[in-house]
Structure 1
Amino acid sequence: MSLWTHWRRGAVVALLATAACVPVAERESRPAPPPAAPPVPAPPPPQRVRHDLVLTGAAEQGAVITGRASPGVRSLTLDGAPVPVARDGAFLLGFDRDAGTEAELVATFTDGQRIVRPITVAAGRWRIEHVDAPWRGGATSDADFARRRPAELAQIAAARAKAVESDGWRQAFRWPVTGRLSGFFGAQRIYRGKAGAYHSGTDIAVPAGTPFVAPADGVVTLAAETPFTLEGHLLIVDHGMGLSSAFLHCQRLDVKVGDRVVQGQRLGTVGRTGRATGPHMHWGLTWRGKRLDPGKLAGPIGD
């Protein structure tokens, strides 16, 4: 090998060694890749909505209490029977004169949650009233009463079964007429020595022909032009949510079935038709088949 060749090979090796010692920044001008994005955190689990039932009023035999359910209520039952609920969650509950001491309110919501609310029902105190009137009322005989009564009861049941849209149940009720109380709700009635059913309303003694008015807004569902054996000229006004008023023994009715009435509107005049010993207004209240005390809804009566 010639001296020139040997020298040239050594120069190449030296050049390569020198290139290997050049810093990376000088050998490559490409920018470094951006840092990796941090991982996206998983969304938090949805919060479980806490539902509630708010009740207002004292639960006792013959009384009504109101309530409100939080949004999303799907169904409401009282002792297994369905309870209607308004769009805003408002509802009412009625306790019959003979209601038991315990009741159970159950609310089911659209998300599957349930609220079970036990209710203690206070007992009422009832009188015994002796009434000097025939047990069969305006019927001419027991046979006449037995013949007429089923059709009358069917009309009453049909009137109370009608679905009525009214917000009268939300109002503060007023008395349809004021005067002396002559008969009390829940009293055990005895008619000339024969026991009858308990008194399902409150009697106000006023002269025949005295006008009476609607205690709250509602719709007329029954207006008996022909007197019933016991109720006489009977008028029923539904206030919505299954709450209805019955006005018995009327002398004249000024409204008809289907009429919408407003609180304070004249409905007719007081009389003594049917089973009555004298002119008076019998005002009864019913909620979904349960008999209620009007005085617990309207408050003390003024003379």
Structure 2
Amino acid sequence: MPEWLAEHGIGESRYARILSGEIVEARILLDGVARAGARCTARLVSVRPLAIAEADGQQFLLPKGAKGISEGQELVIEVTREAIPGAEPWKRPLAVVANEGEEAPPPLDAEALPFPSPSDPLGQAGWLDLLEEARSGIVRFDGGELRISPTPAMTLIDVDGYLPPLELALAGAEAAARAILRLDIGGSIGIDLPTVAGKAERQSIASAIDSILPQPFERTAVNGFGFVQLVRPRARASLVELAQDRPPFEARALLRRAATEAPGAKRLIGNPMLIALLEQKPEWIDSLSRQIGGAVTLRSDASLPIHGGYAEKV
């Protein structure tokens, strides 16, 4: 049986690996975004200063270039990193020229769940709590909390709490490693831990990270100031990065909540930015209407925060 569960919702597909009733790993894949590992036929539109290929109206950077291929020629590319939210051009999706004869990597082996479902396995495992961690960047653990901040250079994780320094550093390192998996954080990651004296103690903190994070990843030693840097493969945006794009993130979350509640006609009530986005997505509203078996209307309420949308029966 696959370890992962998949829930194909409106505008996104949600993936979770659940152990002992808790989500230990999760992914959100957006509809319309070329997924890491996918192969497609593209056209090379530029070779200098950057090699750029275009497929289905989307541009992909080719960091390794496209040797032997001229501008305007077709080529087969394999996506290595999905588009990352943000305006920086270097955060566009990345790809490589696919090698002939090599098969594309298999997709994630996941059991597709019926959705909506009265049992709601993802909801029972804490999907709403996971989304709150992503939007707030705060992850609590016994004795302290993590504050996760995505930056253009790396994702920073600050560890704070009330335990003695070594205990807090060990607990924080373990919590950070779990949060990295749970929130699908890749790329360069910096963890700021309490300062701990002693090489052996700092090595035990590093070992705590190694015991939880699966390979492949690289890390530095924990330095005398309590800082350790990790580098993991980065195939897509983390849940924390997706949550930075607030209106779409909150709109998709609201649609999921509306679909899992009692069926029948509903009115979605939310912040004006949220409602404005939904008005631009009639296909999302139509999909929800089919899922709940009733008409869906919208109402704007400026008193609500962006994450405070809700559905009411009509």
- Structure 1 length as normaliser, TM-score? 0.24
Bigger radius of gyration: 1
Higher RCO, 1 vs 2 (CA within 8 Å, ≥6 residues apart): 1
Which has the larger helix fraction? Answer: 2
- Structure 2 length as normaliser, TM-score? 0.23
